[in-house]
Amino acid sequence: MTRYTRVLGRMAAAVLLSCAALGAQAAGPLKVAFVYLGPVGDGGWTFQHDQGRQGLEKAMGTAIKTTYIENVPETADAERVLRQLAADGNELIFATSFGYMEPLLKVAKQFPKVKFEHVNGYKQATNVVTYEPIFDQGFYLMGIIAGKMTKTNTLGFIGSFPIPSVVRDANAFILGAKSVNPKSTLKVVWASTWYDPGKERQAAETLMGQGADVLSQNTDSPAGIQAAEAKGKYAFALDSDMSKYGPKAHLTASTENWTDYYVQETKAVIAGTWTGNRATRWGLKEKMVVMAPMNVAVPADVVKMVEDKKTAIANGSFDYFGGPIKDNTGKERVAAGAKLPVGDYMSMNWYVEGVEGSVPQ
């Protein structure tokens, strides 16, 4: 085996020498790598991360060199890709999907000097940190707009999969709506996919057919916006500003700005101040969650209301998951004056009052 490897290694070296293009990699700029679940052109989640990567390049100039690899499935392949990136001399690696968690932890053990950053995960290590946007803050604000804009008092939510963060988004959305319009209810349809434009469109049409006139989604394609535009209804986008897909329908979007975080982390690595075992959750305050420009159809007083709540959420003076909160079976989940325990927040699998149906268990 070893001899074989050596022979192959020598062959490889020969080929390497013959390629003039391959110069020796001098130890210079910090190598930063990004692992993407989808294609960079998905117009949503991965696209936005790549915007962050480009923002990082712009901010750091020649001090860094970035690499990205797209369409990495959350299968056995993820471990190889992560390991390869680490072996290739990348010192900071951003893994931008939840499903990379276990492979990432394995690779991190093998490469203690490489720093790993994992989005949406919950396991940290000395060289692994997690980071995530507080999506639900954006959904709460969108809920306020929805509650004001709805005429049927029926809102719609196109869900991907019933995981806690998505359930949280739906809950925050209806809490926002009910804060301004107690009569509003939310219908949820699970598309069982993160990305299938055809199915997302059908889900949107179904919700509108059942009376929903303002839609939100946590699936990735702009199909829901397009469907709402075609039917003259309203919709919110996620991840990216999708107003170009439905200028009339698109009320606003809860988007992510990853650049600041990526710059902060990269600078920390360069300065040698990067530490492991951290979990970063950034929201409106840190501007990781950014609201896209609002549609002109949103009345000025609603815009003001949203801005006020945004400030209140950002400075910590307002918590929409603060009690009293009942779930949709009438059971009290958070007592008046109490806060939602972090554990319940992290693993939320119940709907608040106003959502129809129940979370698939």
Partner 1 sequence: MLRLEPRTSPSHAMAIASPVIAAVAMLVTGFLLFRLLGKDPVEAAYIFFVKPLNSSYGLGELLLKATPLMLCALGLGLGFQANVWNIGAEGQLTMGAIFGGGVALWLGDSSTWWGLPLMLVAGVIGGMLWAAIAAWLRTRFNTNEILVTLMLVYIAQLYLSYLVHGPWRDPAGHNFPQSRGFADAQTMPLLFDGGRTNWGFLFGLILAGALWFFSRRTYAGFRLQVAGLAPAAAAYAGFSEKRNIWLALLISGATAGLAGICEVAGPIGQMQQQISPGYGFAAIIVAWVGRLHPIGIVLASLLMSLLYLGGESGQMSMALPSAITGLFQGLLLFYLLAADLFITFRLRNVRTTGQPDQAPAAPVAAASSGGPGATPLESSP
Partner 2 sequence: MSPFVPMVQSTVVAATPLIFAALGETIVEKSGVLNLGIEGMMLVGAIAGFAATLATGNAGIGFVAGAAAGTAMALIFAVLTISLQTNQVATGLALTLFGIGLSAFVGHDLAGMPLPGMEGVTFPVLTSLPLVGELLFHYDPMVYGSIILLIAVMWFLERSHAGLKMRAIGESPAVAHSIGHPVVLIRYLAVMFGGATSGIAGAYLSEVQTPMWAEGMSAGKGWIALALVVFGTWRPGRVVLGAYLFGGVTVLQLFAQGIGLNVPAEFLSMLPYAATVVVLVIICRDPKTILLNQPASLGRSFYPGT
Question: Judged by CB under 8 A, does residue 43 bind partner 2?
Answer: yes
In the complex, least distance from residue 73 CB atom to partner 2, rounded to whole angstroms: 13
Question: Judged by CB under 8 A, does residue 217 bind partner 2?
Answer: no
- The residue whose two tokens read 């923002």 is 55
Binding residue (CB under 8 A) for partner 2 from 49, 115, 187, 333: 187
Binding range to partner 1, per CB under 8 A, among 16-24, 131-139, 181-189, 264-272:
16-24
Binding residue (CB under 8 A) for partner 2 from 29, 55, 164, 211: 211
Half-sphere exposure for 1 (CA within 13 Å, toward CB):
0
In the complex, least distance from residue 167 CB atom to partner 2, rounded to whole angstroms: 13
- The answer to whether residues 96 and 220 touch, using CB atoms and an 8 Å cutoff, is no
In the complex, least distance from residue 269 CB atom to partner 1, rounded to whole angstroms: 19
Binding range to partner 2, per CB under 8 A, among 55-63, 105-113, 225-233, 287-295:
225-233
Sheet of strand 214-217: strand arrangement: 185-190, 154-159, 214-217, 234-239, 250-256, 289-291
Give which of partner 2, partner 1, none residue 230 binds (C-beta under 5 to 8 Å, depending on kind): partner 2
What's the chain's length in residues?
Answer: 361
Q: Which residue, 198 or 299, is less far from partner 2 as judged by CB?
A: 198
- Rounded Cα–Cα distance for residues 250 and 230 (Å): 12
Beta strands in 75-163 (DSSP E): 92-95, 115-119, 128-133, 154-159
Give which of partner 2, partner 1, none residue 201 binds (C-beta under 5 to 8 Å, depending on kind): partner 2
Beta strands in the chain (DSSP E): 30-35, 64-69, 92-95, 115-119, 128-133, 154-159, 185-190, 214-217, 234-239, 250-256, 279-282, 289-291, 325-326, 332-334
Question: Judged by CB under 8 A, does residue 205 bind partner 2?
Answer: yes
Binding residue (CB under 8 A) for partner 2 from 54, 67, 179, 202: 202
In the complex, least distance from residue 198 CB atom to partner 2, rounded to whole angstroms: 6
In the complex, least distance from residue 97 CB atom to partner 2, rounded to whole angstroms: 16
- The answer to whether residues 53 and 262 touch, using CB atoms and an 8 Å cutoff, is yes
Binding residue (CB under 8 A) for partner 2 from 8, 13, 22, 39: 39
Q: Which residue, 86 or 291, is less far from partner 1 as judged by CB?
A: 86
Query: Residue 238's beta-bridge partner residues?
Result: 254
Give which of partner 1, partner 2, none residue 117 binds (C-beta under 5 to 8 Å, depending on kind): none
- Rounded Cα–Cα distance for residues 352 and 355 (Å): 6
Restricting to residues 85-144, which ones interact with partner 2 according to CB under 8 A?
A: none
- Rounded Cα–Cα distance for residues 328 and 181 (Å): 17
Question: Judged by CB under 8 A, does residue 29 bind partner 1?
Answer: no
- Rounded Cα–Cα distance for residues 132 and 65 (Å): 23
- Rounded Cα–Cα distance for residues 283 and 288 (Å): 5
- The answer to whether residues 257 and 56 touch, using CB atoms and an 8 Å cutoff, is no
- Rounded Cα–Cα distance for residues 165 and 188 (Å): 14
Restricting to residues 73-132, which ones interact with partner 1 according to CB under 8 A?
A: 73-77, 79-81, 83-85, 87-88, 98-99, 101-102, 122
For 252, phi and psi rounded to 5 degrees? -170, -175
Question: Judged by CB under 8 A, does residue 198 bind partner 2?
Answer: yes
User: Interface residues with partner 1 (CB under 8 A)?
Assistant: 1-2, 4-5, 8-9, 11-12, 15-16, 18-19, 21-22, 33, 39, 67-77, 79-81, 83-85, 87-88, 98-99, 101-102, 122, 161-164, 192, 346-349, 360-361
